Amino acid sequence: MKIAIIGQQDFGKAVLEAFLARGDDVAAVFCAPEKEGARPDVLRLAAQEKGLTIHQFKSLKDPEAARAMQSTGADLGIMAFVLQFVSQEFATIPKHGTIQYHPSLLPKYRGPSSINWPIIKGDTETGLSIFRPSDGLDEGAVILQKKTPIGPDDTLGSVYFDRLFPMGVKAMLEAADLVVTGKHTETAQDESHASYEGWCRTAEAKIDWAKPIDQVYNLIRGCNPAPGAWTILNGKKLQIFDSRKTVLRRFADVPGKIGEVTDVTSQGFKVTAQGGLIEVLKAKVEDGKKMSGGEVAQAGGIGPGSLFGG
């Protein structure tokens, strides 16, 4: 089939390479313009290396973008990790329209941080959806869905890189074949089950040690590796990545004050939260590098009695 890839970064590159590997004709690649000083888009670099036609429009709603898509003669548009909005004029130009990847089980978790939030909220399952882009945000008809469990110690990194990324590449190939051969179904999203979550960024990643231990642990997991859950010690920001939790069922068993370091080892240090302890195994202070919790404690003078918060 002849396709047009719309996307960016590693997932877009992986989708491009998967279609090329099985012999599909990539008529053009549409990727967002790179901001000054940002690292080069690996999708653009891959397309450039393969001698493919590349378009970089500030807006895919620009009439020029529609004309560029028209010139491809594509059978299908493939939207892989796209942060730009497309118009219906653009999306419906290919012979069989356009399909889009979203890493959640739509209509749940519409929005840009749809992998972080299910983990942060303690869900035990997530997945991906291949759907038709519409004028709404992640609101179009669903063509294909795949599910994956969220384990109690899964992180954003393990859920995405180990499962949703490779599953998503395969699902795009599968959905493309279904659509082009006319074997697909399109199911309208049930608005009564819809939810939207905005970006999970620095403000959303701040740790409140007074929250129940499960909520603190889920926030750390859902922000690992990005944006990195964080706290303050002596006026400096500390980002926490790898961690373990210990739930203590009796109030009398919880040592120290909320946010207090109660133990330090060569591996890490333990911080008290509501109902248990978080053992910090990997962290980073401000503009420093990631180190083991033990190394961070030693370098930052963190010891029993140190108090996080602020």
Residue with the two structure tokens 């590159």: 13
Residue with the two structure tokens 């790179």: 34
Q: How far apart are CA 215 and CA 208, in angstroms?
A: 9
Q: What mean pLDDT is predicted for residues 203-208?
A: 98
**pLDDT surpassing 90 at residue 292:** yes
Higher pLDDT, 310 or 102: 102
* Domains of the chain and CATH, by start: 2-193 (3.40.50.170), 203-300 (3.10.25.10)
**Cα end-to-end span (Å), the chain:** 56
Q: How far apart are CA 200 and CA 115, in angstroms?
A: 10
% of the chain with per-residue pLDDT over 90: 94
**What does the pLDDT read at residue 310?**
59
pLDDT tens track for 108-163: 999 999 999 999 999 999 999 999 999 999 999 999 999 999 999 999 999 999 99
Find residue 110's DSSP bridge partners: 196
Global confidence as pTM: 0.95
pLDDT tens track for 66-99: 999 999 999 999 999 998 999 999 999 999 999 9
Average pLDDT of the chain, as a whole number: 96
Phi, psi of 275 (to 5 degrees): 95, 10
Q: What is the DSSP string of 9-72?
A: HHHHHHHHHHHHHTT-EEEEEEEPPPPTTSPPPHHHHHHHHTT--EE--S-BTSHHHHHHHHHH
Q: What mean pLDDT is predicted for residues 198-207?
A: 97
**How many other C-beta atoms can be found within 10 angstroms of the C-beta atom of residue 110?**
19
**What does the pLDDT read at residue 17?**
98
Q: Are the beta carbons of 167 and 147 closer than 8 angstroms?
A: no
Q: What mean pLDDT is predicted for residues 49-59?
A: 97
pLDDT tens track for 241-291: 999 999 998 988 999 999 999 999 999 999 999 999 999 999 999 889 999
Q: Are the beta carbons of 101 and 10 closer than 8 angstroms?
A: no
